[in-house]
Chain A
Amino acid sequence: MAKKIMWFSILIIVFISLIFICTGFVMAVKVSTGPVSEVSKPISQQGLQNGADSFNDPKTVKVLILGDSIAKGTGDETFRGIGGYLTDNLKNYTAKDITVSNLGIDGLKSGELLDQVKNGRLTNEITSSDIILISIGGNDLLEIRRQGGSNLENAFKEKQNAYIAALKEITNKVRAVNKDAFVVFVGLYNPYDGEITNEYAQLMNDWNHATSLVFADDIKAVFVPTYDMFKLNMNRFIASDNLHPNSAGYQMIAQLISRSLEDVVVNM
Chain B
Amino acid sequence: MKLYNLVKNEVFKMIGKKRLYITLGIVLVIIAAFAYGQYHSLDRTKENLSKRIGIEATSDWRKVLQQQLIDIKRRMDSPYMDDDRRANLRVRAEQMQFYLDEDINPLEVSAVTFSTKFIEQSLLFLLPLLMIILSADIVSGELSGGTIKLLLVRGVSRWKILLSKYITIILLEALVMFFVLILSIGVSGIFFGYGGWTTPVVTGFKVVAGKLVTSDIVNVPGWQYLMMTYGLAYFVAVVVGSVSFMISTLVRSTAASIGIVLSTLIGGSLLSSFLEDWKLPRYFFTANLKLTDYISGSLSPIEGMNMTFSLAVLSVWIIFSIVVSFAYFTRRDILV
Contact = CB atoms under 8 A, between A and B. Distances in A.
B295 A121 contact: no
Contacts of A44: 79-81
Interface in B170-195: 171, 174-175, 177-178, 181
Nearest to A22: B231
B12 A3 contact: yes
28 contacts: A7-B11, A14-B178, A17-B174, A17-B177, A17-B181, A20-B178, A20-B230, A21-B174, A21-B230, A23-B231, A24-B224, A24-B226, A24-B231, A24-B232, A26-B231, A28-B229, A28-B232, A29-B307, A32-B203, A32-B306, A33-B306, A37-B215, A39-B83, A40-B83, A79-B67, A121-B80, A240-B52, A240-B53
A13 B307 contact: no
Nearest to A44: B79
Interface in B202-249: 203-206, 208, 213, 215-216, 218, 220, 224, 226-232, 234-235
Interface string A73-113: 00000010000000000000000000000110100000000
B8 interface: yes
Given A21-B174, A28-B232, A48-B79, A36 B215 contact: yes
Given A24-B230, A26-B231, A47-B78, A31 B174 contact: no
Contact of B234 (A3, A7, A25, A103): A25
Interface stretch (B26-34, B39-47, B68-76): B68-76
B204 A51 contact: no
B59 interface: no
A31 B227 CA distance: 13
Nearest to A106: B75
A207 to B, nearest CB: 26
A122 interface: yes
A25 B235 contact: yes
Interface in A182-204: none
Interface string B50-72: 00111000000000000100110
B271 interface: no
Contact of B308 (A33, A37, A42, A240): A33
A105 B78 contact: yes
A122 B80 contact: yes
Interface in B264-293: 291
B311 interface: yes
Contacts of A6: 15
Count class of interface residues, chain B: 35 or more
B11 A10 contact: yes
A3 to B, nearest CB: 7
Interface in A47-63: 47-48, 51
A28 B174 contact: no
Given A116-B80, A122-B80, A240-B53, A31 B234 contact: no
Interface of B: 8, 11-12, 15, 52-54, 67, 70-71, 74, 76-81, 83, 86, 171, 174-175, 177-178, 181, 203-206, 208, 213, 215-216, 218, 220, 224, 226-232, 234-235, 291, 294-295, 306-308, 311
A42 B77 CA distance: 11
Contacts of B294: 32
A264 interface: no
B307 to A, nearest CB: 4
A29 B311 contact: yes
Contact of A17 (B15, B178, B311): B178
A31 B296 CA distance: 11
Contacts of B76: 43
A79 B67 CA distance: 7
9 shortest A-B CB distances, which residue pairs? A24-B231, A25-B231, A24-B227, A28-B228, A17-B178, A47-B79, A21-B234, A32-B307, A17-B174
Given A13-B175, A17-B174, A103-B80, A23 B227 contact: yes
A103 B231 contact: no
Contacts of A42: 83
* Chain A CB within 10 A, most for which of B52, B70, B294: B294
Given A14-B175, A16-B178, A33 B80 contact: no
